[in-house]
Amino acid sequence: MVEYSEAEHATWRAVHAALAGAHREFACRAVLEAGEAAPIPADHVPQHAEVGAALRRLTGFDLTLAGGFVENRRFLGSMEDGYFHAVQFVRHPAIPLYTPEPDVIHDVFGHGIHLSSNRFADLYRLFGRTAARLGTGEALDLLSRVYWFTLEFGVMAEDGAVKAYGAALLSSYGELGRLDRCEIRELDVREMIRTHYRVSGYQPVLFDARSMEYLTDTLADFLEGFDDEEAARLAAIASAGDRS
């Protein structure tokens, strides 16, 4: 159990108040529906056990502790068995509405919302099954890039506006407010593999999934046939035509 300070609880409350309104304005319908059941208290930083118990009831997922960087095989592969590696530290109170690295706010407001919905949880398991059968680091790197541009930084158009569904966007008030300044490209998994991304800082390029159904169908079609051989072929194409 983590003993959070009053300053950390205050940071949580400030972010909760800001993101509640931002989600209503900038999050897609599937996220708003998932958020209704998500275990996100307004007044305190929740313990992993508190969040995990609720997720188990909703989708069978649970949180497992990530003490720091988790390599791709372990991070993605654990999702097949319903575990998501999450951290417990809280971002610095001086910048409560943005952090360049994942923290408990990111994991709960982003992935916690996702994993409260079977529609999203099934996609996490799909990434997990795919990771479990890959044998090369190169293939896992390409898989993580698709994960990055979808479940972390994905958007979809609804009612003529760009709406967020990616976990990293959902936990960043600053990024939600600047979606209209990003370059929005049509969802294309092979294009994602060729596109560079920023590990820290705002993402300049996002991919529009059109709808939750289109996202699910596109990822299933690609990931169910993705293996080491296909990864090697796509890596060769990507190296010949990387995009920024």
- The residues that bridge with 84 in the sheet, in sequence order, are 63
Phi, psi of 142 (to 5 degrees): -65, -40
End-to-end CA distance of the chain: 42
5 is annotated as an active-site residue: no
Separation between Cα atoms, residue 24 and residue 240, nearest integer Å: 41
Q: How far, in whole angstroms, is CA 27 from its chain's centroid?
A: 13
Residue 210 in contact with residue 157, Cβ under 8 Å? yes
Active-site residue, 171 included: yes
Annotated active-site residue in 16, 85, 106, 114? 106
DSSP 3: -
Catalytic residue among 8, 111, 116, 117: 111
In the numeric block, which tokens belong to residue 70? Answer: 């988790």
Active-site choice (48, 85, 144, 152): 152
Q: Which of 83, 126, 84 is nearest to 217 (CA)?
A: 126
Strands 161-164 and 155-158: antiparallel
What's the rounded Cα separation, in Å, for the pair 231 and 147? 14
Is residue 48 flagged as an active site residue? no
Q: Which of 52, 27, 168, 22 is nearest to 101 (CA)?
A: 168
Token representation of residue 109: 């407001």
Could you say which of 78, 116, 117, 171 is catalytic? 171
Output the six-digit token pair for 107. Answer: 């994991």
CB-CB neighbours of 217 under 10 Å: 12
Query: Does the active-site annotation cover 196?
Result: no
What positions carry a catalytic annotation?
106, 111, 152, 171
